[in-house]
Structure 1
Amino acid sequence: MRQRRFAFTNAANIAASAATAMALACLVPLGSAQAQDYPSKPIRLVIPFAAGGPTDTLGRGFAQQLSQVLKQQVYVDNKGGAGGGIGVDIVAKAPPDGYTIALGTNGPLAGNTALFKSIPYDPVKDLAPVARVAFVPNVIAVHPSIPAKTLAELIEFLKANPDKYSFASGGNGTTSHLGGEALKLATHTRMTHVPYKGDGPALVDAIGGQVPIIIASVTATAPYVQAGNLRALAVTSRTRSPNLPDVPTVEQAANLPGYEFAAWYGVVAPAATPPAIVKRLADATLQVIGSQHMADKLLSIGGQGAPMGSAEFGAFIKTEVPRWSRIIKQVGATAD
């Protein structure tokens, strides 16, 4: 009896252990199983700006290549407004399953926290960083009537003529505006900011000499530099632009270490997206960035690849939010 009772108890324990193990086996690999099956349906890539701009141009080329790498359709959905905030907020509130992602910029992912009175999402807490993709610099250029041939000469010219000259930008709170304000602060110069609704109208007045100093995107400005309508003095990135390879950086041209005010682009997902899916997206994104197709697409908008994985990109955003906020608050910039 004792032996049979022991055998029955032992068998019951074994059965209970097996049931527990099976239950755990069903629960533990759920995220891994999701990642293995991912993606099993089309992915929505939200572009938080209107169609036709540089973010849209980059995003469409990126979506096409990402579709090939993931072997699943990635389609673009333009949701512009509020400096990119509307589109990014849609992604922040989307189901965290990897099927709604965004190609964001330094605006909605960093600067908007200070540029707007309030935004409905936290770029650090409400989003999962997937990967940084690229950056696009601006160029500081002058009308030929300005005697400065270098950025250092322009700085000395402005110091000798405080508040007598203006600089044009593509709008309040843009990288061109904030880059100009940062240059003023770093060099103790004074010039008036004249915001325009985009680089196009700003360039018209710069070429006409009405606003003889301009900070605008490399691609928009380069044709007028090459035609002799404007003189390029420096690019606002840490490295030279392949679109204007003979033009030095601000750091090189004016001995301003660390100066960098370039637009950057990165992919984000909802905060609770499973890490395995984030990694799958990050690996695919980094593969796309390394392709010749994307190099050509970036060159067409004056950009350069600047790949960062998820962890590095997340740390980068955490440093960018206070950096952009600091300059925005210093100059008192607000959204249009």
Structure 2
Amino acid sequence: MKRIQFIKSSLFAVGASLLTSLACAQNFPDRPITLVVPNPPGGLVDTSARLLSEPLARVIGQPVVVDNKPGASGNTAYQYVAKAKPDGYTLLISYSGYHVANPALMDKLQWDPIKDFSPIGLLTVSTNVIAVHPSVPVNNLKELIAYAKANPGKLNYASQGNGSVSHIGTEIFKQSTGVDMVHVPYKGSGPAILDVLAGQVQVFITTPPSVMQHVQSGKLKGLAVTGKSRHPGMPNVPTTTEAGLASFQLEAWVALYAPAGTPGPIITKLTDSVKTSLALPEVKERGDSAGIELRYLNPQAMDALLKKELPYWNKAIKSANITLD
């Protein structure tokens, strides 16, 4: 009898939980949604969040607030969202450099890249640009490699922080070309680009939003883009393949995640709303002008991408002996 009562109680509890989740999903959202960004303002990640926030607010019917929480190589934001209430109101704007690299870079990570987050969808992707200050006496990628080899340790390179795509990518670039450059990490693209423009740091491999306008104006030299095709905002900048370094390609992505345990109906509502928002013509225009490619993937496809990239970046980081020191 007690066992039957226990089973009935358990079934009742499960049913009540499901009804509560459905009720929450039906009313969702009834207050502002926060997009937590692991970087300071400026650059690919923050720009992607702001590309999404305004149209998503219109589509979903509630304000969407961008909350920049930089620090600890992205871990401040990731830990914050991982521990947030899984109700759909606190979401993570995830950067590939943190999501797939930090697990390989840190032994005691306070969040799990798969278990602690539920994917909502891929938002944007971006190639990278190899840019240098005009004071560097080179005009193409081959000349940069030759100059760096002839002057080991003379050039400094900027990154958005330890473990970022710009950090890992530049270290892979160093390994593949045999050059020696000194790493200067920053807390995001915004602070980094200021020192690059001032010539205090000479090299920056980063996404187009950080450097495109400066390459266009001549304040920086764009030597190559690290994708398979030229960037429409910088049509005169060759690809690494065209510049003679076909082995080096680098792409970053930004995706939207909720805390693990967020009810399925809420994930579906967010996913559908994000897909609709990214499909708006004005959002594509804004993305093009910022040098960012909108590329939506649903939660299942995003999950598959993450699980594919985690071992790839782990191997790249270990083989290049990249550390956070």
Tell me, yes or no, whether TM beats 0.5: yes
Q: After superposition, where does 1:23-172 map in structure 2 within 5 Å?
A: 30=19, 33-34=22-23, 37-49=26-38, 52-54=41-43, 55-144=45-134, 148-156=138-146, 158=148, 161=150, 163=152, 165-170=154-159, 171-172=161-162
* Structure 1 residues 201 and 274, CA gap change in structure 2 (3 angstroms): closer
Distance 2:77 2:279 in 1: 26
Q: Structure 1 CA distance, aligned partners of 2:171 and 2:124?
A: 23
**Structure index of larger Rg:** 1
> Which among 318, 322, 325 is matched to residue 307 of structure 2?
318
User: Hey, what's the Cα distance between the residues in 1 that align with 2:185 and 2:236?
Assistant: 28
What letter corresponds to residue 210 of structure 2 in structure 1? Answer: A
Residue ranges of structure 1 left out of the alignment (5+ in a row): 1-22
Q: 1:125 to 1:26 in 2, by over 3 A?
A: closer
Aligned residues: 313
> 1:267 pairs with 234, 256, 262, which one?
256
The alignment-based identity, stated in percent, is 33
How do residues 228-267 of structure 1 correspond to structure 2 at under 5 angstroms? 228-257=218-247, 259-262=249-252, 264-267=253-256
Task: Give the CA deviation at 1:154.
Answer: 3.6
1:251-277 CA distance string (max 9 Å, x none)? 443352572243x21100122223332
Cα distance between partner residues in 2 of 1:321 and 1:129: 15
Structure 2 distance, partners of 1:162, 1:223, is 29
Q: Which amino acid aligns with 2:258?
A: A
**RMSD, aligned α-carbons:** 3.4
CA distance 1:76–1:221, shift in 2 (3 Å)? closer
Kindly state the Cα deviation for residue 133 of structure 1 after the two structures are TM-superposed. Answer: 0.3
Residues 217-237 of structure 1: CA distance to partner in whole angstroms, max 9, x if unpaired?
423333443343432111233
Structure 2: state its 5+ residue gaps: 1-11
Cα 1:41/1:145, change in 2 over 3 Å = closer
Are 1:98 and 1:277, in contact at CA under 8 Å, matched by a contact in 2? Answer: yes
Query: How far did 1:176 drift?
Result: 2.0
- In the alignment, structure 1 residue 218 sits paired with structure 2 residue 208: yes
- What amino acid is the match of 1:279? T
Distance verdict in 2 for CA 1:38–1:257, change over 3 Å = farther
Q: Deviations over 1:56-80 (max 9, x none)?
A: 3432342221121122333333333
Which deviates further from its counterpart, 238-247 or 209-218? 209-218
- In structure 2, the partner of 1:308 is 297
Checking the alignment, whether the CA contact within 8 Å between 1:39 and 1:70 is kept in structure 2 is: no
CA gap of 1:86–1:203, structure 2 versus 1, over 3 A, is closer
